[in-house]
Amino acid sequence: MALLQISEPGQSPDPHSRKFVAGIDLGTTNSLIATVRQGEVVVLADARGDVLLPSVVRFHADGQVTVGRAAQQAEIEDPLNTIASAKRLMGRGCADVVDCPYRLACGIEGMVRIETAAGVKTPVEVSAQILAALKARLEETLGGPLSGAVITVPAYFDEAQRQATKDAARLAGVEVLRLLNEPTAAAVAYGLDRNPEGLYCVYDLGGGTFDVSLLRLSEGVFEVLATGGDAALGGDDMDAAVVALWKARGAKAESPEEIRRLLRAARDARERLTLETEVAVDVAPIYVGLLSRADLDAAIDPLIDRTLAACRRVLKDGSVRIADIGEVVLVGGATRTPRVRERVGALFRKTPLHDIDPDRVVAMGAARQADLLAGNAGAADMLLLDVIPLSLGIEIMGGLTEKIIPRNSPIPASRAQDFTTYKDGQGALAIHVVQGERDLVAECRSLARFELRGIPPMVAGAARIRVTFQVDADGLLNVSAQETTSGVESRVTVRPSFGLSDAEIERMLQDSIASAESDAAARALRELQVEADRMIEAVGAAIAADADLLAPGEHDIIAARIAALKEACGGEDPKRIREETAALDRASAGFAARRMDAGLERAMKGRSVTEFR
Amino acid sequence: MARNYFDLFELPAQFDIDPKELAARHRERIRVWHPDRFAQGTSEERRRAVAMSADLNDGLKVLRDPVSRARHLLSLRGISTDEETDTNMDGAFLMEQMVWRERLEEGAARPEELTALAAEVAESRDAKESELARVLGDERATDLGRARVLVRELQFLERFTRELDCATAEAL
């Protein structure tokens, strides 16, 4: 039975003043949700007391969906309709996927699709089911709606994978406050706990992804110096390596059920070898034998080698020597493997920290960040400065990549570069946005293509086309292109080639669980109303705080727009709400700008007192 | 017209700057402008926070590195250091480049040869950067033509150093 909670005298939480926000670790193997209550991070458990929700979703022929442990239990009896490790498929095309245990619906452009008894599903829909289950858990536990969440992603996730994660949240009806890199989240949990200063290296080996990040902590600022990793390397690959070993020793597995059983046994044996030195494996009639820790070590060493190579590269990128690193932090279930700890310790010449549960630490850090972003009183005063993991660029003549924002650039980032036409009278320019480190476009990930049209006729090389990349704090990209001599402009929010189109998302919203109670139009209306409310609240708070910065008459103009927007919100016309929201935004733009400038001035003054003493 | 990053950090537009002061000014500004500070703000505030933070990050990057700082100074005075529109370089410099390139190719199998070459290139870069600091040092700098030549040569050397680093990493 749950214990009744009693708050400290004078700290009685007012249920109306506090928003329920959460940190969500959407993992390959397990997912978690955590929140901050009375200053403490709480990882929420289900009715059985489990905090880990297995990231497994089963689609039944009758349209029913089960998520978590119940789905995991059906993995062997119903392997094709029970989807595990969908995170590995997020933002991926068919050509990217090898060795997938499901029936993939290929021949369709864009993201991988899985054929199930309930129809064709995308990894985004699978992830949305997991997010919806976590959202429901929080709402049942706290007795109120979830108003926003920080969702973690591997630092090494590319644009398509990040966008896919955001799309999944949208389908699940979860408002994303921020996408946060997993190692950064882990550093927050450790950093706030210990409050140390100096260089941290976070080694995060999860079920399906590997990240390594180098951070500098000082005065509440978490600054990522460099990040690296492999978006397709983790505990799942260790299981596959063990299965490969068993096959070499005579195991015969052909059907999906048999392969699943072997993989399950491999994970089980691997976990038991954390404490034991040899375990008996019985997957009769497929395979029976012994697995020693030495066997396991030999099988996974090549995988660990890859992680250590990434560590060395990150050190080089961050211009940091091993001796300068203060602490090495282990994150992710796969770092429980003794061989991983041993080899990471050997590389960094120190014993890595793992005293915060490596399964929970990411969700805990994300919950802290959510608390801060929600503006909750008493939230930790900290600032996270993160970087982009992979270079962003565009294709130039000869199939080559021109990097515009190099990897490990701090975000938000913005960079413009000028290009020119290659033929006389060229009236349009195709812009192909790519991500990756290689010089050849073919070896990078294609993100998006768009065209700048209407360039006036000029001789080759005379046009000046300025391409501007802007990466926001979620690591998501916006690209615009302008011909500067004529002013012709084109602007796109990058929807990755391996992503979903807006139309697809609309369709999914219609079929999705989150909209079961209402149709897509009502859902869209509600999204607009929420945004409008947020806007009204923000402008109201701004006026209350800085009324002295209002220009004469400005108050009345803004108040009129607020009233108009409130009225629009009471109605059902989405177009009007959108227009009135934009009108309020315009009407308050000058005021917002003055407030921001004043905020900066105040901050500078605060500094001069301490700095020029 | 390009943004003046010296203004952004309220620093005098000159080559000699204190890197610690630059970092401190970036830090205090990003603390104020970071989008996380405006998560509950209006759309306009959030847009501005992203744009300002991006400018601050780009500005830090441009001013921190001596060569890009010099390029920025020159561009503020209307002098382009673009290589594509002007391929005219000093003959002796190009000659030296060719010799170095040959040594890079021959040295592919000999790490110690590459290390020696790297030391030589680094020395040449240091000398050019010192000269750049002399001709572009403060706001009264006048020999902008010479500064432009140095910046262009340093860009060559930067690229060559990157290739050299790659080759060294492969040889080891």
User: For B88-102, what is each residue's pLDDT tens digit?
Assistant: 777 788 888 888 888
- Burial class from Cβ neighbours inside 10 Å (0-12, 13-18, 19+) for residue A323 reads exposed
d(CA A603, CA B29): 8
Instruction: Please state whether the predicted TM-score (pTM) of the whole model is above 0.95.
Output: no
Exactly one of A75, A78, A87, A371 is catalytic; name it: A87
Superfamily of domain A21-183+363-379, CATH level 4? ATPase, nucleotide binding domain (3.30.420.40)
Q: Is the peptide bond before A496 cis (omega within 30 degrees of 0)?
A: no
| Domain locations along chain A | 21-183+363-379, 392-501, 518-601
User: For B22-43, what is each residue's pLDDT tens digit?
Assistant: 999 999 899 889 999 888 888 8
| Domain locations along chain B | 5-64, 91-171
Contact A204, A331 (CB under 8 A): yes
* pLDDT on residue A514: 47
Q: How many residues make up chain B in this entry?
A: 172
Q: What confidence tier does A258 reach under pLDDT thresholds 50, 70, 90? A: confident
* pLDDT on residue A195: 64
* pLDDT on residue A343: 96
d(CA A276, CA A365): 32
Q: Which residues pair with A151 in a beta bridge?
A: A24, A179
Quote the percentage of chain A above a pLDDT of 70: 88
Across the range A580-598, mean pLDDT stands at: 85
**Distance from the B54 Cα atom to the nearest Cα atom in chain A, whole angstroms:** 4
Cα B132 to Cα B15, B61, B93, B128, B162, distances in angstroms: 8, 19, 16, 6, 21
Question: Given the structure tokens 């970087």, which residue do they identify?
Answer: A387
For residue B5, which of B47, B50, B48, B68 has the smallest C-alpha distance?
Answer: B68
Of the listed ranges A473-482, A596-605, B50-59, the least confidently predicted one is A596-605
* CATH number of this structure's domain A392-501: 2.60.34.10
Out of B36, B44, B61, name the one closest to residue A384 (CB).
Answer: B36
* pLDDT on residue A499: 65
Q: Is the peptide bond before A410 cis (omega within 30 degrees of 0)?
A: no
**Distance from the B47 Cα atom to the nearest Cα atom in chain A, whole angstroms:** 9
Exactly one of A75, A125, A158, A204 is catalytic; name it: A204
* CATH number of this structure's domain B5-64: 1.10.287.110
Please check whether residue A538 touches B, CB under 8 A: yes
- Burial class from Cβ neighbours inside 10 Å (0-12, 13-18, 19+) for residue B86 reads exposed
Across the range B42-70, mean pLDDT stands at: 90
User: For A18-65, what is each residue's pLDDT tens digit?
Assistant: 579 999 999 999 999 999 998 899 999 998 999 999 999 999 998 889
For the cut 90, the answer to whether the pLDDT of residue A76 exceeds it is no
Identify the sign of the CA torsion B81, B87, B91, B97.
positive
For the cut 80, the answer to whether the pLDDT of residue B117 exceeds it is yes
User: For A193-216, what is each residue's pLDDT tens digit?
Assistant: 776 788 999 999 988 889 999 999
Cα A67 to Cα A30, A52, A87, A126, A304, distances in angstroms: 11, 12, 15, 9, 31
* pLDDT on residue A150: 97
Q: What confidence tier does B12 reach under pLDDT thresholds 50, 70, 90? A: confident
3-state secondary structure labels for all residues of A170-214: HHHCCCEEEEEEHHHHHHHHHHHHHCCCEEEEEEEECCCCEEEEE
- Per the annotation, the verdict on A87 as an active-site residue is yes
Mutate to test the interface with A, among B1, B42, B75, B80 (most CBs of A within 10 A): B42
The topology (CATH level 3) of B91-171 is Monooxygenase (1.20.1280)
Q: Per CB distance under 8 Å, which residues of B are interface residues toward A? A: 27-36, 39-45, 48-55, 57-58, 60-61
Across the range B120-145, mean pLDDT stands at: 80
Across the range B144-161, mean pLDDT stands at: 84
Across the range A402-428, mean pLDDT stands at: 87
**Which residue type does A338 have?**
P
CA angle A71, A76, A82 (to 5 degrees): 40
Q: What confidence tier does A11 reach under pLDDT thresholds 50, 70, 90? A: very low
Q: Kindly state the helix (H) or strand (E) to which residue A119 belongs, with its residue range.
A: strand A119-121
CATH architecture of the region A518-601: Up-down Bundle (1.20)
Q: What confidence tier does B129 reach under pLDDT thresholds 50, 70, 90? A: confident
